[in-house]
C-alpha cells in the first residue's frame, strides 16, 4: 500500500474522475462509476430488473438523461445540465415546452440563504420534473418565455450494484458499504467510495482473518436489494461499516450500530480514543445512511457508520459547494488510516484460554522475559503478558484486556502472539 500521503492524493484523483458523472439510484451514471471503480479493484456487478420485489420495496424504473436546459428567447442556455449534473431534479421525467417564467418558477429549486449555490434535489418515486439553480441566477432572469427541455428516459431497466470481496482465513464476513447514487457531490459519496476502494486494496496486501465484502450500491434501495438477495450470506456477517462524508475537514464521527455495544462499536470507540484524534461518538438513530437498513430489527447486524462531519451537519451538504475544493487528500487519508487501524484490531481480537491457569506460569524458562531484553517497551510488554494470562478465561477478548489494562491494543495482541507461541494460551 502506498504511503498515506500518496494514498490521499490517489483517492483525490479518483474523486476528480468520478465527480462529473451524473449518478442516480439507477442508470448509466452508476454503471460508468462502477466501471471506473473496477479499474482499481475487481468488481462483481449485479443488474436487478425493474419490478423485482426486494423486501417491502420494488426495484424502480431505470432513469437516464442525455441533456437538459432552460433557454431564453435568444436561445442562450441560462441553466445547462452540461455544466453540472446538479442542475436537473433527479429522476425528472422528460419535458419539451415553452412557458413563461411565472409558470416555470414552480419547477425551480434554489437556496435563498446561499444564493450562489445550486441545491441537490430528487423526485425518485413520483413523476415530476424540475431544475436546480443558484438563487442569483434566478433573480437575474427577466420575465418572458423560456424554452424548457429535459431529454431523459424513465423506463423498465435495471438497478445496478457491485461487490468486491477480499478473501479471509474464515468465511465470517465484515461488510463495508458506501452509496453510489449521488451526482456531483465530492464529500457525500465520492470520498466514501474512494476510501472504500483504497481500504480494499490495503486489506488485499495480506490475508485478513475475516472475509471483507465491499458493497457499492445506490442508497436505501440498493442496500435493501442487497439484503433481499443475500439472506443466506447475512447469517455470516459479523461486523460492518458504512462509509460516507469521508473527505471534509471536520472531526471524525462514528455512529454506533442499533445494538450500541456491537464489537465494531467498541473497536471504533477504542481506536479513536487511543489515537487522540478529535472525534465524536454518536448514538444510533434510524435515519442517515444505509446503516439503518443493515441494522433494521429483522437483520440487526452489527453495522456502524464512519464519517467526518455527519450528513446534514455542514452547510455545503447536498449543494454545489460540496465540490472538489471541499474535500482534501489529507482528510481522506486520515479516514482511511482510522479504518485500517480499526480493522487491524477487529481482525486480531480473539478470546483465549490460559493453558496454565493455576498460579502464574514461569515466563523466564520459556524465554519470554529474555525476548524483552533491551526493548524500550519491556515493562509494557511484560505487563501485557501478565494481563493476557490473567484474563484468558474464554470470556474476555483482547480488546477487553486492552480496555481494562489501559495498554495499547497492539501491545496486548503482541503479547498474545508470544504466549500462544510458548503454548501458554490457545484460541
**Residue of 330, 285, 334, 293 whose CA lies nearest to 312:** 285
Determine if residue 87 is labeled as part of a ligand binding site. no
| Pick from 209, 173, 156, 166: nearest CA to 44 | 166
Residues 6+ apart with CB under 8 A from 181: 23, 24, 25, 30, 189, 218, 219, 222
> How big, in percent rounded to 5, are the helix, strand and coil portions of the chain?
35, 25, 40
Is there a binding annotation on residue 396?
A: no
CB-count exposure of residue 100 (10 Å: 0-12, 13-18, 19+): exposed
Distances (CA, A) of 97 to 146, 289, 388, 411: 8, 37, 74, 69
- Consult the annotation and say whether 188 binds a ligand: yes
HSE, side-chain direction, 13 A CA sphere, residue 136: 6
- Rg (alpha carbons) of the chain, rounded to whole number: 25
β-strand partners of 155 = 62
Where residue 227 falls (left for φ over 0; alpha for ψ -120 to 50; beta otherwise) is alpha
Residue positions forming the annotated binding site for Zn(2+)? 182, 188, 318
Residue positions forming the annotated binding site? 182, 188, 318
Amino acid at each position: 500500500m502506498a504511503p498515506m500521503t500518496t494514498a490521499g492524493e490517489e483517492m483525490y484523483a479518483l474523486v476528480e474522475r468520478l465527480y462529473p458523472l451524473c449518478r442516480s439510484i439507477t442508470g448509466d451514471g452508476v454503471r460508468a462509476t462502477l466501471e471506473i471503480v473496477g479499474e482499481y479493484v475487481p468488481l462483481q456487478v449485479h443488474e436487478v430488473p425493474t419490478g423485482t420485489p426486494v423486501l417491502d420495496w420494488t426495484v424502480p424504473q431505470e432513469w437516464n438523461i442525455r441533456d437538459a436546459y432552460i433557454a431564453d428567447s435568444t436561445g442562450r442556455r441560462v441553466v445547462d445540465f452540461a455544466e453540472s449534473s446538479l442542475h436537473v431534479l433527479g429522476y425528472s421525467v422528460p419535458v419539451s415546452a415553452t412557458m413563461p417564467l411565472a409558470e416555470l418558477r414552480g419547477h425551480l429549486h434554489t437556496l435563498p440563504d446561499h444564493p450562489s449555490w445550486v441545491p441537490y434535489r430528487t423526485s425518485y418515486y413520483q413523476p415530476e420534473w424540475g431544475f436546480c439553480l443558484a438563487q442569483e441566477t434566478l433573480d437575474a432572469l427577466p420575465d418572458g418565455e423560456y424554452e424548457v427541455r429535459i431529454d431523459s428516459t424513465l423506463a423498465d431497466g435495471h438497478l445496478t450494484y457491485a461487490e468486491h470481496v477480499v478473501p479471509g482465513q474464515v468465511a465470517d464476513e465484515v461488510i463495508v458499504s458506501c452509496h453510489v447514487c449521488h451526482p456531483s457531490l465530492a464529500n457525500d459519496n465520492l470520498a466514501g467510495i474512494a476510501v472504500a476502494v483504497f481500504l480494499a486494496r490495503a486489506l488485499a496486501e495480506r490475508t485478513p482473518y475475516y472475509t471483507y465484502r465491499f458493497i457499492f450500491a445506490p442508497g436505501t434501495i440498493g442496500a435493501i436489494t442487497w439484503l433481499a438477495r443475500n439472506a443466506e450470506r447475512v447469517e455470516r456477517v459479523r461486523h460492518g461499516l458504512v462509509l460516507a462524508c469521508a473527505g471534509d475537514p471536520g472531526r471524525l464521527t462514528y455512529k454506533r450500530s442499533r445494538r450500541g455495544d456491537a464489537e465494531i462499536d467498541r473497536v471504533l470507540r477504542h481506536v479513536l480514543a487511543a489515537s487522540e484524534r478529535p472525534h465524536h461518538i454518536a448514538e444510533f438513530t434510524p435515519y442517515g445512511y444505509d446503516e439503518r437498513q443493515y441494522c433494521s430489527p429483522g437483520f440487526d447486524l452489527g453495522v456502524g457508520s464512519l464519517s467526518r462531519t455527519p450528513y446534514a451537519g455542514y452547510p455545503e451538504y447536498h449543494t454545489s459547494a460540496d465540490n472538489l475544493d471541499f474535500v482534501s487528500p489529507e482528510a481522506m487519508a486520515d479516514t482511511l488510516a482510522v479504518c485500517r487501524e480499526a480493522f487491524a484490531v477487529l481482525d486480531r481480537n480473539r478470546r483465549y484460554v490460559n493453558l496454565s491457569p493455576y498460579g502464574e506460569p514461569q515466563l523466564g524458562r520459556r524465554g519470554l522475559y529474555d525476548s524483552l531484553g533491551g526493548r524500550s517497551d519491556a515493562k509494557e510488554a511484560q505487563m501485557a503478558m501478565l494481563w493476557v494470562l490473567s484474563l484468558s478465561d474464554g470470556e474476555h477478548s483482547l480488546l477487553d484486556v486492552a480496555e481494562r489494562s489501559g495498554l495499547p491494543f497492539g501491545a496486548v495482541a503482541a503479547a498474545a502472539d508470544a504466549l500462544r507461541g510458548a503454548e501458554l494460551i490457545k484460541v
